[in-house]
């Protein structure tokens, strides 16, 4: 068994002590507490943003579904009118020429739009704009001030608790 020089033993012992002191040091504990409190605020903020995105996504999906239902209805309506009025080129009545062309183009446009999601980015923008407008219309200045006050009070409380912890720790250290 190889013996370590006494300086190496002292280095290992000091390394263990410094690790132990890190978790026992009130200054480090206070900083970790402050870090966790800020992380809690950030997680809450991130969760709020993700929930907002999720709700907008649900609204956009609903609007896309409604738009597809409307397109299917338009397609069926135009196709029905085209068939009922016998608008095929062989049996078309000259007086209905313009209407038959209109119904045919309507059926073609509606069939192209069915299942298409080309307008989803536009729907996202419209939905987000409507949500923001509704929010700004319904929120009062008093509510906005209250929200900002709660947010700043929670941050100030965290800073104050950390500061008072430091004053207690350093004050106790100087008294000993």
- Looking at per-residue pLDDT, the higher value among 124 and 111 belongs to 124
Q: What confidence category does residue 115 fall into, taking pLDDT thresholds of 50, 70 and 90? A: low
What DSSP assignment string belongs to 50-107? HHHHHHHHHHHHHHHHHHHHHHHHHHHHHHHHHHHTT-STTT--GGGHHHHHHHHHHH
pLDDT for res 113: 60
For 1-41, write each residue's pLDDT tens digit. 455 555 554 455 455 555 555 666 767 777 787 788 888 88
Tell me the average pLDDT across 113-119: 58
Q: What confidence category does residue 149 fall into, taking pLDDT thresholds of 50, 70 and 90? A: very high
- pTM for the model stands at 0.59
pLDDT for res 49: 93
Q: Show the tokens assigned to 66.
A: 């409604």
């Amino acid at each position: 068994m190889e013996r370590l020089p006494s300086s190496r033993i002292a280095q290992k012992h000091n390394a263990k002590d410094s690790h132990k002191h890190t978790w026992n040091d009130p200054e480090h504990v206070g900083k970790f507490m402050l870090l966790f409190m800020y992380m809690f605020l950030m997680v809450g903020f991130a969760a709020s943003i993700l929930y907002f995105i999720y709700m907008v996504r649900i609204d956009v999906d609903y609007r896309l579904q409604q738009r597809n239902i409307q397109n299917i209805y338009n397609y069926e309506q135009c196709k029905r009118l085209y068939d009922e009025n016998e608008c095929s080129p062989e049996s078309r009545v000259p007086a209905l020429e313009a209407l038959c062309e209109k119904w045919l183009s309507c059926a073609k446009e509606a069939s192209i739009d069915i299942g298409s999601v080309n307008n989803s980015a536009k729907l996202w923008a419209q939905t987000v704009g409507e949500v923001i407008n509704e929010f700004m219309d319904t929120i009062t200045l008093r509510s906005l001030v209250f929200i900002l006050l709660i947010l700043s009070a929670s941050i100030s409380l965290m800073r104050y608790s950390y500061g008072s912890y430091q004053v207690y720790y350093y004050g106790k250290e100087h008294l000993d």
